[in-house]
């Protein structure tokens, strides 16, 4: 399996919605509202994507000032591709593009409470923060 990670992919609304459907994150996103998804994609500060050939298999969508803090709004990996390090690599790719001092925070999805610590996040009174951010 050769996964390619991109920060400049031409991501269509349809491809994004299909990925969210194939991940656990789809349960908490407006899959029936392509207009909202279009805004989510357009207005993200940084969108990292993971591709297996032409198939979108992962996404990390971030809102940030690129200096102090980055909010990881979405981390979704296709169920068929989970447990292969794709989520972890999406976080690493995001971190590289943010720079060394920008901290990454997120709000934990209920089903992912056990997953985030494996990616290096730790609980914080305001959410989850990536260690060494």
- CATH number for position 105: 3.40.630.30
Q: Judge contact between 42 and 86, C-beta under 8 A.
A: no
Contacts of 1 (CB under 8 A, 6+ apart): 52, 84
- DSSP, residue by residue, 56-100: EEEEEEEEE-SSSEEEEEEEEE-GGGTTSSHHHHHHHHHHHHH-T
How many other β-carbons are positioned within 10 Å of the β-carbon of residue 126? Answer: 8
1-58 pLDDT, tens digit each? 799 999 999 999 999 999 999 998 888 888 999 999 999 999 999 999 999 999 999 9
The model's pTM is 0.82
State how many domains the chain has.
Answer: 1
pLDDT range class, residue 108, cuts 50, 70, 90: low
- Give me the torsion for CA of 101, 29, 4, 90, rounded to 10°: 30
Q: Judge contact between 129 and 103, C-beta under 8 A.
A: yes
Query: What domain range is 102 assigned to?
Result: 3-130
Arithmetic mean of pLDDT over the chain: 87
Residue with token string 């269509």: 12
Q: Judge contact between 75 and 90, C-beta under 8 A.
A: yes
């Amino acid at each position: 399996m050769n996964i390619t990670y991109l920060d400049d992919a031409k991501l269509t609304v349809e491809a994004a919605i299909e990925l969210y459907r194939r991940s656990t994150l789809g349960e908490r996103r407006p899959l029936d509202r392509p207009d909202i998804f279009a805004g989510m994609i357009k207005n993200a500060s940084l969108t990292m994507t993971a591709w297996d050939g032409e198939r979108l298999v992962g996404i990390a969508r971030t809102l940030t000032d690129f200096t102090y803090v980055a909010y990881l709004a979405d981390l979704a990996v296709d169920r068929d591709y989970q447990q292969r390090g794709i989520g972890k690599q999406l976080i690493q790719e995001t971190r590289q593009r943010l720079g060394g001092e920008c901290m990454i925070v997120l709000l934990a999805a209920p089903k992912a409470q056990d997953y985030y610590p494996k990616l290096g996040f730790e609980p914080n009174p305001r959410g989850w923060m990536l260690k060494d951010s």
